[in-house]
């Protein structure tokens, strides 16, 4: 008969096996193997944060931008197919007070980075409302008024959409919303300069960086 510690080691060993399959698939840029490996890891109930941090992100160290695009598609496709309850079970159990609203700015239809950021936020146990792509500035404002919303995360890949970012910021940084919500920008068009020009509270160099910033905001309850 196995004792508990042996069983525990066996579970850990098999987790590692599934994580290695993800790393390997991302390394060799094999999209279908990525999907299968991610799906198997999900079926094994491996926490989402481990699938991403120990699997996908480690694999990406070798495979560059094409790997990022493929892995983002693969993750996105697999996560979307599991229901909200299961997603919550796979997330870190954290108690954050406040919801995060994300969306890609009006005029911009790039979705992969925003989706990955959303998946990582959910894997941390954050409550996320995803408004999709091509989101009107007014819509961000409308959601910012919801009592539980504390953070607005805007994805922004097309430089031409900068005036829309300024429009959102002028709606969110005035009146009662000024001290109610924090705004973080993410995506390829974002830089320190853009964050300063638009008056955003922060910008993310990548999704994990963004989630760290949001986690600090939600934990320190500075609202
Ligand atoms: C894939 C892609 C597309 C796909 C998008 C598919 C999809 N469903 O998203 C398609 C083919 C549709 C597309 C279309 C276009 N594209 Co395009 N596209 C890209 C490409 C190659 C990769 C983007 C991507 O998905 N990366 C992978 C993801 C995972 O990375 P990411 O978006 O950077 O996100 C990461 C972080 O930034 C962060 N993040 C992102 N959002 C957020 C949000 C928050 C809140 C947080 C915290 C973090 C966060 O998290 C992610 C993980 O770390 C980039 C090149 C590049 N270097 O970015 C060009 C690029 C963005 N595209 C570009 C252009 C010009 C276009 C088109 C106008 C082309 C055309 N002439 O039609 C159209 C735009 C149409 C429109 N109205 O939006 C330009 C933009 C240039 C600029 N500075 O304005 C780029 C930079 C290519 C280039 N070098 O010229 N594109």
Q: Mean pLDDT, to the nearest integer, of 85-106?
A: 82
Q: End-to-end CA distance of the chain, in Å?
A: 54
With H, G, I as helix, E, B as strand and everything else as coil, classify residue 81. coil
Whether residue 48 has its Cβ less than 6 Å from ligand 1: no
With H, G, I as helix, E, B as strand and everything else as coil, classify residue 48. helix
Q: Mean pLDDT, to the nearest integer, of 162-190?
A: 94
pLDDT of 14 reads: 76
92-220 CATH: 3.40.50.280
How do residues 12-68 score in pLDDT, each as one tens digit? 557 899 999 999 999 999 999 999 999 999 888 888 888 988 999 899 888 888 888
pLDDT of 13 reads: 56
Whether residue 68 has its Cβ less than 6 Å from ligand 1: yes
In the structure, what pLDDT confidence band is assigned to residue 214 with cuts at 50, 70 and 90? very high
pLDDT of 210 reads: 95
Beta carbons of 128 and 102 less than 8 angstroms apart: yes
In the structure, what pLDDT confidence band is assigned to residue 104 with cuts at 50, 70 and 90? very high
Whether residue 210 has its Cβ less than 6 Å from ligand 1: yes
CA gap 11, 153 in Å, rounded: 36
Distance 52 CA to ligand 1 centre (A): 20
Beta carbons of 57 and 99 less than 8 angstroms apart: no
Domain-wise residue ranges, the chain:
4-89, 92-220
DSSP state of 174: S
Instruction: Give the closest residue (by CA) to ligand 1 atom 32.
Output: 113
Residue 46 phi/psi, 5° resolution?
Answer: -70, 130
How do residues 118-152 score in pLDDT, each as one tens digit? 988 988 889 999 999 999 999 999 999 999 999 99
Q: Mean pLDDT, to the nearest integer, of 159-183?
A: 93
User: By C-alpha distance, which of 39, 149, 51 is closest to 103?
Assistant: 149
């Amino acid at each position: 008969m196995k004792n508990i510690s042996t069983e525990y080691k066996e579970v850990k060993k098999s987790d590692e096996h599934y994580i290695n399959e993800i790393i390997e698939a991302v390394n060799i840029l094999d999209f279908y193997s990525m999907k299968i490996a991610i799906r198997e890891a999900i079926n094994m109930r491996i926490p989402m944060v481990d699938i991403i941090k120990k699997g996908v992100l480690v694999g990406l160290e070798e495979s560059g931008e094409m790997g990022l695009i493929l892995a983002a598609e693969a993750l996105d496709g697999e996560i979307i197919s599991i229901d909200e309850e299961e997603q919550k079970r796979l997330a870190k159990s954290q108690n954050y007070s406040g919801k995060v609203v994300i969306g890609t700015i009006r005029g911009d239809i790039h979705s992969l980075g925003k989706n990955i950021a959303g998946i990582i936020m959910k894997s941390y146990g954050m409550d996320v409302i995803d408004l999709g792509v091509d989101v009107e500035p007014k819509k961000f404002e409308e959601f910012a008024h919801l009592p539980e919303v504390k953070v607005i995360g805007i994805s922004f890949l097309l430089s031409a959409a900068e005036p829309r970012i300024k429009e959102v910021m002028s709606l969110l940084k005035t009146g009662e919303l000024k001290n109610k919500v924090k705004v973080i920008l993410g995506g390829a068009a974002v830089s320190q300069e853009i964050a300063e020009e638009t008056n955003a509270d922060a910008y993310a160099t990548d999704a994990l960086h963004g989630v760290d910033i949001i986690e600090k905001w939600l934990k320190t309850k500075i609202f």
